[in-house]
Amino acid sequence: MKIVKIIGGIGNQMFQYAFGEFLKKYDDEIFFDINFFDNYKLHKGFEIEEAFSLKLKTVDYGDVKKYTSARKNFILNKLYKLLKNKNECVEYVSDLKDDDFHKKIYFNGYWQRFSYVGESRDRLIEAFKFNVDDEKVSEYSKKMSGVNSISVHVRRGDYIGHKYLGDICNLDYYREAISICNNRLENCVYFIFSDDIEWCRSNFLGDNYVFVDALEKDYYDIFLMTQCQHNIIANSSFSWWGAFLNLNGGLVLCPKKWSKYKNSSDLIDPNWIVVEGSYDN
């Protein structure tokens, strides 16, 4: 048995589900821990089942405590980590060894590596069939199909001033990515997705920009990104999935760095175009 913790926004939830699919190489029984959403105040909560009509096999809190340090008593937490957690639980380790996949039971992390999703791509495309029944989304989709559409994801919000994630995909990054598209493609129409659409209206000027206004569900944005011919993504799992699930075979442009301490080389599809941008510290 393997248990994968699900936490974070919809993009991270998708990576964690995908990691569960990857673990099927090592164990037929894959379960998911969604208990932490009971008190989780960030993002939009547990969305992955609603977005894709998935029904995850889950475990209750009692099962989680068997394999993790999820105990209220501080001293018991420390003892558990020393005596048992080393053998059965792995937390936030980016480079797992083959032995870990065989021996570990509980996996807590984001698991954002292309090697964990690439070989499961067909299964993931089948699993991640969006539940979309929205007139506004349909209108945008029709617009995208009638032009040489390019999605542009601009994440601001919680990234502004962020110690590790902020200022990587700045205006210089987007200008360079758009310049590459304009040089390689004809009649480009850019569809801007952002949590700060008014800022985008002030900084992306021209008749070939369409600003996607706030939609009812976050995952509607990811769906629409898959409908574009090409994608310019941010250092965000949100638009990463929009590009990964896009079956149109177009260009995908991505930042060189995923965070200020990590390049994106282990996360991106080898066919994607890496844009240097301006952040090089």
Q: Are residues 213 and 240 in the same domain?
A: yes
Q: Residue 232: its pLDDT value, please?
A: 98
Q: Are residues 269 and 206 in the same domain?
A: yes
Q: Residue 88: its pLDDT value, please?
A: 65
Q: Which of 127, 159, 194 is the C-terminal boundary of a domain?
A: 127
Q: Are residues 77 and 158 in the same domain?
A: no
Q: Residue 170: its pLDDT value, please?
A: 95
pLDDT in tens, the chain (281 residues): 899 999 999 999 999 999 999 999 999 999 999 998 887 766 678 999 999 989 999 998 887 877 765 544 444 444 444 444 445 677 656 668 888 888 888 999 999 999 999 989 999 999 999 999 999 999 999 999 999 999 999 999 899 999 999 999 999 999 999 999 999 999 999 999 999 999 999 999 999 999 999 899 999 999 999 999 999 999 999 999 999 999 999 999 999 999 988 888 899 999 999 998 655 55
Q: Are residues 141 and 266 in the same domain?
A: yes
Q: Are residues 144 and 217 in the same domain?
A: yes
Q: Residue 278: its pLDDT value, please?
A: 55
Domain that holds residue 117: 2-127
Q: Residue 171: its pLDDT value, please?
A: 95
The CATH number of the domain holding residue 218 is 3.40.50.2000
Asked if the structure places residue 22 within a domain, the reply is yes
Q: Are residues 112 and 155 in the same domain?
A: no
Asked if the structure places residue 281 within a domain, the reply is no
Q: Which of 105, 127, 149 is the C-terminal boundary of a domain?
A: 127
Edge-to-edge strands, sheet with 252-255: 209-211, 188-194, 148-154, 230-232, 252-255, 273-275
Q: Please give the backbone phi and psi of residue 33, each rounded to the nearest 5 degrees, phi first.
A: -100, 110
Q: Are residues 150 and 266 in the same domain?
A: yes
pTM of the model: 0.89
Q: Which of 75, 94, 127 is the C-terminal boundary of a domain?
A: 127
Q: Are residues 123 and 140 in the same domain?
A: no
Tokens read off for 199: 């800022």
